């Protein structure tokens, strides 16, 4: 990147190079925030502080990924305060997407999930709502093992949000999430297998025993709706070890 706006021999730059050496992610994050504060105190005019704030923030972010530590706030805080990224003033939405794309390339499920949420909800001026992009990122996170993303992806295939309605895929992802202990996924599967899930086919997936087992699993985790459906609609046969609908 172009360094013309910076003096590499300045005290700030020399200090910055020293600060890069042998630092933990947490230390780099603290340095980034200190640099950012100095940048703000300069009336957002000292580009040396801006440069090193975002650079140390980026290093903290990617170093933290290796230890499952999230220091993405360092880069985001820098961007929000106008520091630019890698010395350039780029579109902020591109910057955030770029950062998380790199994070996902390092197989970070939580950050991929966060990007999905960003596209689903919209994040100020950084990300505009886009249900298709949200699904793409949720699928990345789901494939990396995020139970939350697996559940949401199942919902998307159920509702046709960002993807075409596909109940085979909805069941697949809900099942993954249910196996990972997501109560709402267990409830949805139970209701689908019982033929009672609003908007879903009443036939083709009906399986009373599977329905009872899923609802029971959800009820065991405190889901009152699942417990209520079990109480009103199901009975457990101790001899056959199966659930049946009343």
DSSP, residue by residue, 168-227? HHHHHHHHHHHHTT-HHHHHHHHHHHTT-STTS-SSSS--HHHHHHHHHHHHHTT-HHHH
Tens of pLDDT, residue by residue over 216-237, are: 999 999 999 999 999 999 999 9
4 — pLDDT class (breaks 50, 70, 90): very low
Mean pLDDT of 171-197: 97
The secondary structure of residue 56, as a DSSP letter, is H
Mean pLDDT of 75-81: 72
- Angle CA(227)–CA(229)–CA(234) in degrees, nearest 5? 100
The pLDDT value recorded for residue 206 is: 92
Instruction: Return the structure tokens found at 220.
Output: 């065991």
Q: pLDDT > 90: what percent of the chain?
A: 42
The pLDDT value recorded for residue 244 is: 95
The pLDDT value recorded for residue 116 is: 83
Instruction: Give yes or no for a contact between 132 and 162, defined as CB atoms under 8 angstroms apart.
Output: yes
The pLDDT value recorded for residue 23 is: 77
Instruction: Give yes or no for a contact between 189 and 171, defined as CB atoms under 8 angstroms apart.
Output: yes
Residues ≥6 apart with Cβ < 8 Å to 42: 49
Alpha carbon distance 178, 103 (integer Å): 26
pLDDT at 87 exceeding the cut of 50 = no
Instruction: Write down the residue that tokens 């998307």 correspond to.
Output: 156
The pLDDT value recorded for residue 110 is: 78
The pLDDT value recorded for residue 3 is: 38
pTM of the full structure: 0.63
Q: pLDDT > 70: what percent of the chain?
A: 77
Select from 180, 106, 104, 218 the least CA-distant residue to 118: 104
Mean pLDDT of all residues in the chain?
A: 81
Tens of pLDDT, residue by residue over 123-148, are: 655 567 889 988 988 998 899 899 99
State phi, psi for 47 to the nearest 5 degrees: -75, -20
pLDDT at 59 exceeding the cut of 90 = no
69 or 224: whose pLDDT is higher? 224
Alpha carbon distance 149, 174 (integer Å): 10
State phi, psi for 233 to the nearest 5 degrees: -115, -15
Alpha carbon distance 230, 164 (integer Å): 31
The pLDDT value recorded for residue 126 is: 53
Tens of pLDDT, residue by residue over 96-124, are: 656 665 555 556 787 778 778 878 887 65
Alpha carbon distance 118, 121 (integer Å): 5
Torsion sign across C-alpha atoms 67, 182, 157, 121? negative
Helices (H), the chain: 11-19, 25-41, 47-65, 72-80, 92-105, 109-121, 131-143, 147-159, 167-179, 183-193, 208-220, 224-233
């Amino acid at each position: 990147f172009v360094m013309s706006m910076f003096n590499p021999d300045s005290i700030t730059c020399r200090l910055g190079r020293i600060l890069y050496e042998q630092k933990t992610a947490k230390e780099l994050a603290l340095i980034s925030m200190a640099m950012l504060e100095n940048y703000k105190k300069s009336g957002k005019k000292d580009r040396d502080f801006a440069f090193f704030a975002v650079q140390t923030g980026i290093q903290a972010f990617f170093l933290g990924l290796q230890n499952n530590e999230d220091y993405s706030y360092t880069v985001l805080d820098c961007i929000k305060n106008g520091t630019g990224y890698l010395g350039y003033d780029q579109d902020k939405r591109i910057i955030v997407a770029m950062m998380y794309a790199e994070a996902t390339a390092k197989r970070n499920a939580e950050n991929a999930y966060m990007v999905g949420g960003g596209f689903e909800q919209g994040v100020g001026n950084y990300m505009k709502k886009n249900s298709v992009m949200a699904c793409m990122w949720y699928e990345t996170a789901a494939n990396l093992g995020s139970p939350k993303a697996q559940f949401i992806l199942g919902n998307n295939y159920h509702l046709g949000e960002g993807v075409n309605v596909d109940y085979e895929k909805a069941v697949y992802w809900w099942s993954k999430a249910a196996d990972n202990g997501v109560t709402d996924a267990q409830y949805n599967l139970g209701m689908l297998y019982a033929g009672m899930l609003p908007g879903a086919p009443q036939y083709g997936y009906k399986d009373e025993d599977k329905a009872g087992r899923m609802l029971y699993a959800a009820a065991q985790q405190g889901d009152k709706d699942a417990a209520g459906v079990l109480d009103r609609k199901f009975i457990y046969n101790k001899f056959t070890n199966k659930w049946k609908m009343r």
